[in-house]
Amino acid sequence: MNDCCAVPSSTGASGIVVDRRNPNLNSRCSTCEKQGRPVGRQTILHHVKHEQLDRVNGDAYRYCADPNCPVVYYGDKGACFTVDDLREPVAVKIQGDARPICYCFGFSEGDARKEIERTGQSTIPATVSGLIKAGMCACEVRNPAGVCCLSEVNRTVKRLSAEHQASVHILGVQGWRGNSTS
C-alpha cells in the first residue's frame, strides 16, 4: 500500500502541523462542531480557487468530513474554506453522478453506476487498487480529504451494487406478478 494511504499524525513532508502540547485546541469545526482530520497546506493549495490562495498560511488546518457541513478546511486561528472556495466538488459533501470518487484517476459515481447497470459489477475498485499498488496515485494532494480514494471507491461501489440488486429484484417480482395475472 502506498504512503498516501497512511493517516498523517505529525509534522511531515506534507507540512502538517499538530500542536503536541494541546492537540485538541480548535480541533473542532466551528460550524458543525465535529472533530476534523489534520490536512497539509499543500493539499489545501491544490484545491482552493486561485483567489483563495493568499488566505492559506502556516496555520494548522483540518478537514471537515461532515456531509451536511459546508466547511471543508478550517485552521486553528479561525480561517475557514467552504465548498464554494474549492475548485472541485468534495466527495462526502455532494450526491449524484457528478460526485467524484477517485480524484487521482478521475472516476465519478456516475461511471460506477453506469458500469454496474450495464454489467452488474464494477471494475473501478480493481483498477484503482492496481494503480495504487503500482505507486501511481497521488491521493494526498489530489483528494481534497488528503487521504486515499480507495475506501470511498469501495464504499460507493458496494452501495451502488446493493441498490442495483434491489432494483433488479423489484423488477423481477413485478415481471413475475405481471405474468401470473395475465
> Cα–Cα–Cα angle for 73, 87, 150, nearest 5°?
70
Examine residue 4 and tell whether it contacts Zn ion (CB under 5 A): no
Instruction: Among 5, 17, 32, 94, indicate the residue that binds Zn ion (CB under 5 A).
Output: 32
For the CB of residue 139, give the shortest distance to Zn ion in the complex, in Å.
21
Tally the residues of the chain: 182
Which residue carries 472516476 as its cell? 107
C-beta of 71 vs 147, nearer to Zn ion: 71
> Grid coordinates representing 152?
470511498
Examine residue 31 and tell whether it contacts Zn ion (CB under 5 A): yes
> Grid coordinates representing 160?
451502488
For the CB of residue 66, give the shortest distance to Zn ion in the complex, in Å.
5
For the CB of residue 50, give the shortest distance to Zn ion in the complex, in Å.
24
The C-alpha atoms of residue 77 and residue 66 are separated, in whole angstroms, by: 20
C-beta of 29 vs 141, nearer to Zn ion: 29
Examine residue 90 and tell whether it contacts Zn ion (CB under 5 A): no
Amino acid at 146: G
Q: Which residues fall within 8 angstroms of residue 60, CB to CB, at 6 or more apart?
A: 16, 17, 18, 19, 38, 75, 76
C-beta of 64 vs 150, nearer to Zn ion: 64
C-beta of 74 vs 107, nearer to Zn ion: 74
Note the residues at the interface with Zn ion (CB under 5 A): 29, 31-32, 64, 66, 69, 71
